């Protein structure tokens, strides 16, 4: 407790307050937003709420993320059943750790004011709408943990790093593994490198201690999860849905080297206009990034082996993230955002060189940097402070459903759009959504749910090139009445129409 109180310095309190204020506008999980439009966040929340009703992820409610992310959202449901307030608090604390560790790293070579400026500038650069979307991303945990890993590799030589760091990193691996296992790439590189370095330098006792500490950290998170699923007879569902289906059915794509190069050529994520300009800027940013990393390695006081380790973590992680599917969903790249720190280091050197004595100017630039969140992130436009309630299908459809004694709801053939959240209901069927996975039992089960006439309300979504099958359309016309027909928008772009049906 005393150690925590000692950490409550004016600087840390300032960064904590700024983190909560910035995240208040950045993530749609915050109280600033009446409705969270993130389909992923609502899906995770619906599964998380199921835990409070005795329903286990995979066995009773199907989704393909890791079990720990549902437990976190289940905790949110305990605090606030119809909102994401607890998630907002977690995201704010993660952002605090982000800028705190960026500040620590940059303060090793830059002045205190400049390091603070660069830490604040990180927020609008990293949390753009194009990558951060609506927030509540599994990648947010990875960003924070990667920054702590970078800090530990910069501050300590790999052979004299305190034991607690290996235990902590073992915990990080376990947390990310059970949230989204593709996020553990930096730690795979870290532990393989350290293990080989121990073997080559004949530090066998050190290797044993590292393995032991990492296992302590990993198993402290993993064993309770395995025991829970084993005790409830759901272990086979966990491994089938989280591992097997993800590896074999979820966005399986060409993994050839040529395809990887193609994805790296066109990481524009929708910037179809002025493509030549965008690509030129992209290549310049790559060149600048490589120069920034090289400059940092020259300036940093680290053991040469640590510099090699750091370079491997940076570049292999970026390349592997592209291979996983960065060109498919831009938010995958959010886990690589910690490496923006090297751009910030280059900027910091210039600020220290030309503006070192102009402290008021630096603090003014810091304020401008923080206000940049309203330029790079447009989520505030989805708030009811910006839009009318009647323009939101969440508001209109929830109002209609909540007037009924029977709130039974079927979210048919698309991801969770939040109606389970804002009607205060929970899903009671395994395939409560159509997940982004090519899995025939899911499609068949959803059609069976529809034809059972068990649900009073049915919500459907469609757009150009994606409509319901004719058999489903005929069934709805025969047994249901369409109450409302509204626009469905995502990230300021029209995504078609969303309809609410009521049983005749």
Q: What is the dihedral of CA 313, 315, 316, 322, to 10 degrees?
A: 130
Per the CB < 8 A criterion, the answer to whether 156 and 165 are in contact is yes
Mean of the pLDDT values across residues 305-318? 92
Per the CB < 8 A criterion, the answer to whether 445 and 468 are in contact is no
Q: Specify the pLDDT at position 465.
A: 64
Match 């940093």 to its residue by tokens: 300
Shared-domain flag, residues 311 and 432: no
Shared-domain flag, residues 371 and 454: no
Q: What percent of the chain has pLDDT over 90?
A: 65
Higher-pLDDT residue of 286, 122 = 122
What distances in angstroms separate CA 72 from CA 178, 225, 377, 386, 421, one per listed residue?
11, 13, 25, 30, 16
Per the CB < 8 A criterion, the answer to whether 488 and 497 are in contact is yes
Mean of the pLDDT values across residues 398-413? 93
Shared-domain flag, residues 280 and 416: no
Q: Specify the pLDDT at position 331.
A: 81
Q: Specify the pLDDT at position 278.
A: 67
Residue that terminates a domain, selected from 323, 353, 381: 381
Residue that terminates a domain, selected from 381, 412, 428: 381
Helix, strand, coil % over all residues of the chain, rounded to 5: 65, 5, 30
Shared-domain flag, residues 264 and 149: yes
C-alpha to C-alpha distance for 100 and 131, rounded to whole angstroms: 22
- What's the burial of 94, exposed, middle or buried (CB within 10 Å: 0-12/13-18/19+)? middle
Q: Specify the pLDDT at position 1.
A: 56
Shared-domain flag, residues 372 and 287: yes
Shared-domain flag, residues 109 and 28: yes
Q: Tell me which residue range forms the domain holding 55.
A: 2-381
pLDDT band at 389 (very low <50, low <70, confident <90, very high): confident
Shared-domain flag, residues 235 and 148: yes
Q: Does residue 262 carry a pLDDT above 80? A: no
Which range, of 85-94, 120-129, 362-371, 483-492, averages the lowest pLDDT? Answer: 483-492
Shared-domain flag, residues 395 and 362: no
pLDDT band at 428 (very low <50, low <70, confident <90, very high): confident
Shared-domain flag, residues 153 and 297: yes
Residue that terminates a domain, selected from 354, 381, 408: 381
Give the bridge partners for 411, in sequence order.
459
Mutual orientation of helices 112-126 and 10-26 as an angle, nearest 10°? 20
The SS3 assignment for 486 reads strand
pLDDT band at 270 (very low <50, low <70, confident <90, very high): very low
Q: Does residue 63 carry a pLDDT above 70? A: yes
Give the count of beta carbons closer than 10 Å to the beta carbon of residue 176.
26
Shared-domain flag, residues 354 and 482: no
Q: Specify the pLDDT at position 309.
A: 94
Q: What is the dihedral of CA 450, 454, 455, 456, to 10 degrees?
A: 120
Mean of the pLDDT values across residues 457-471? 83
Q: What percent of the chain has pLDDT over 70?
A: 90
- What's the burial of 503, exposed, middle or buried (CB within 10 Å: 0-12/13-18/19+)? middle
Number of structural domains in the chain? 2
Quote the Cα angle for 187-193-195, to 5°: 100
The predicted model scores a pTM of: 0.92
Mean of the pLDDT values across residues 85-96? 97
pLDDT band at 332 (very low <50, low <70, confident <90, very high): confident
Q: Specify the pLDDT at position 320.
A: 83
What is the chain's alpha carbon radius of gyration, rounded to the nearest angstrom? Answer: 24
Shared-domain flag, residues 236 and 332: yes
| DSSP code at position 338 | G
User: What is the three-state SS of 355-390?
Assistant: HCCCHHHHHHHHHHHHHCHHHHCCHHHHCCCCCCHH
Q: Does residue 275 carry a pLDDT above 70? A: no
Shared-domain flag, residues 160 and 251: yes
Q: Specify the pLDDT at position 111.
A: 94
pLDDT band at 412 (very low <50, low <70, confident <90, very high): very high
Which range, of 15-19, 214-218, 269-273, 279-283, averages the lowest pLDDT? Answer: 269-273
Q: Does residue 223 carry a pLDDT above 90? A: yes
C-alpha to C-alpha distance for 50 and 56, rounded to whole angstroms: 7
Q: Specify the pLDDT at position 98.
A: 97
Mean of the pLDDT values across residues 196-219? 94
Which range, of 113-122, 318-327, 364-373, averages the lowest pLDDT? Answer: 318-327
């Amino acid at each position: 407790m005393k150690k925590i109180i000692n950490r409550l310095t004016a600087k840390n309190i300032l960064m904590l307050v700024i983190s909560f204020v910035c995240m208040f506008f950045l993530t749609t999980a915050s109280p600033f937003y009446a409705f969270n439009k993130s389909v992923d966040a609502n899906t995770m929340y619906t599964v998380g709420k199921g835990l409070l009703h005795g329903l286990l992820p995979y066995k009773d409610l199907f989704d393909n993320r890791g079990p720990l992310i549902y437990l976190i959202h289940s905790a949110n449901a305990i605090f606030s059943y119809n909102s994401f307030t607890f998630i907002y608090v977690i995201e704010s604390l993660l952002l605090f750790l982000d800028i705190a560790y960026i500040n620590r790293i940059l303060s090793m070579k830059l002045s205190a004011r400049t390091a603070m400026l660069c830490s604040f500038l990180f927020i609008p650069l990293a949390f753009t709408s194009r990558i951060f979307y609506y927030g509540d991303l599994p990648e947010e945990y990875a960003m924070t943990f990667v920054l702590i890993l970078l800090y530990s590799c910069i501050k300590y030589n790999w052979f004299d790093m305190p034991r607690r760091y290996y235990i902590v990193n073992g915990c990080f691996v376990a947390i990310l593994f059970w949230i989204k296992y593709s996020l553990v790439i930096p730690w795979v590189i870290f532990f393989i490198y350290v293990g080989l370095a121990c073997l080559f330098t004949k530090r066998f006792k050190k290797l044993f201690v590292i393995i032991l500490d990492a296992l302590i950290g990993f198993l402290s998170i993993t064993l309770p999860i395995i025991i829970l699923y084993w005790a409830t007879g759901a272990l086979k569902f966990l491994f089938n849905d989280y591992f097997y289906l993800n590896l074999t059915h979820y966005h399986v794509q060409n993994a050839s080297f040529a395809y990887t190069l193609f994805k790296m050529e066109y990481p524009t994520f929708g910037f179809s206009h002025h493509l030549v300009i965008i690509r030129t800027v992209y290549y310049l940013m790559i060149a600048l990034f490589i120069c920034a990393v090289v400059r940092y390695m020259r300036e940093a006081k680290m053991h040469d082996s640590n510099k090699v380790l750091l370079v491997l973590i940076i570049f292999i992680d970026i390349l592997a993230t592209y291979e996983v599917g960065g060109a498919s969903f831009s938010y995958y790249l959010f886990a690589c955002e910690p490496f923006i720190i090297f751009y910030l280091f280059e900027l910091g050197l210039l600020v220290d060189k030309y503006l070192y004595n102009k402290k008021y100017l630096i603090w003014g630039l810091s304020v401008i940097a923080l206000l940049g969140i309203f330029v790079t992130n447009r989520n505030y436009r989805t708030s009811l402070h910006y839009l009318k309630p009647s323009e939101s299908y969440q508001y209109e459809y929830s109002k209609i459903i909540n007037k009924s004694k029977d709130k039974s709801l079927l979210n048919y053939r698309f991801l969770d759009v939040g109606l389970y959240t804002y009607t205060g209901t929970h899903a009671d069927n395994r395939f409560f959504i159509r997940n982004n996975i090519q899995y025939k039992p899911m499609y068949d089960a959803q059609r069976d749910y529809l034809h059972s006439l068990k649900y009073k309300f049915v919500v459907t979504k469609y757009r150009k090139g994606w409509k319901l099958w004719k058999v489903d359309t005929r069934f709805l016309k025969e047994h249901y009445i369409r109450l409302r027909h509204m626009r469905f928008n995502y990230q300021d772009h029209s995504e078609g129409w969303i309809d609410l049906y009521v049983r005749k």
